[in-house]
Structure 1
């Protein structure tokens, strides 16, 4: 079934597309015409591209779990959505990578998010923890280089 203007208005109980604020649906090409949508539930569909969502500038919550999104490069279509605070992307092919790496990639691409994949941990805590781990690793590698140089100079 194709998602039409008439069907959207009926499902959202709205008089025009601009007044639609919340919609649970399965086809996303119509979102170009619904710029004021705030909450989208698109879980458990065969969605593979997020291109049509990029015009939804009022979007604050986006539920996309269990779809067919192949790559985290699709996040580029969400980067201009400054009001987006909640994203549920789990159970997509793009999430099959190393979980921590996946989470960090999403956070870096969408820094305004408050909640990712319905996890209770504050999203910025993940970023801070990752930064701390990277700093410790860098410090460790620097210390190793220093020790090597010291050893070479000492035994010359």
Structure 2
């Protein structure tokens, strides 16, 4: 069944598609959702319990923040490549689709590697540790044949990526961002192949490095207000560390030197 303009306007009680911000199409037996190519302003969309197999029509919904797709017929996680341009997407419910497979842990890591901006996946909050692990162990999601690569904006991942690029980004991309922030660029030894035995052995020690990389890579997608939040949080953290260092120095200064007994 195809979702039509008339159905959308009736459900949303709106006069035009551009004004629709929230839409609930739960359990409507939908197979064709091409109408969303005309709905760039949609923010919250419920499409659970339908027969949807492709997400290509959602690639232009750049205002989308929450997307509910539970119990559909999405065949592979490669369909998630259509959601990569949606930089505001924070909530995704994808469970009970064929693409989820039988390994729930690997499925989750792969989704988060593809969409690292998510804050909640399948009604479960995404933690910083989980995201860092996903960026190291999640599988790379490839674009399906005839995908949306030509439709996506500059938010899309670079075409020059290779299988050895850390975090599914190129070293050049990371270093460009580090230079913009006044930081020294990484050398090639910071980007070992994620498939090498030595890398797997050193995963715990690499965790903080990958977390930092992820933060730097996501900074470019933040607007002024969001950057101010990051700035304030950073200042608070630095103040905490400074206070701790000052207290330690004061303690050392006041500590009496023990007398040496002869």
Task: Report the TM-score when normalising by structure 1.
Answer: 0.80
Aligned residues: 139
Deviates more, 1:38-47 or 1:126-135: 126-135
Find runs of 4+ consecutive structure 1 residues off by over 6 angstroms.
Answer: 131-136
1:40 and 2:45 equivalent? yes
Q: Which runs of 5+ in 2 are unaligned?
A: 138-193, 204-262
For residue 76 of structure 1, give the secondary structure of its aligned residue in structure 2. helix
Tell me the equivalent position of 1:51.
56
Contact 1:23 1:39 in 2 (8 A): yes
Tell me the equivalent position of 2:33.
28
For residue 8 of structure 1, give the secondary structure of its aligned residue in structure 2. helix
Q: How does 1:1-156 map to 2 (within 5 A)?
A: 2-25=2-25, 26=30, 27-120=32-125, 122-129=126-133, 137-139=200-202
Q: Which runs of 5+ in 1 are unaligned?
A: 141-156
| Bigger radius of gyration | 2
Q: CA RMSD in A?
A: 2.3
Q: Which has the higher contact order (CA 8 A, sep 6+)?
A: 1
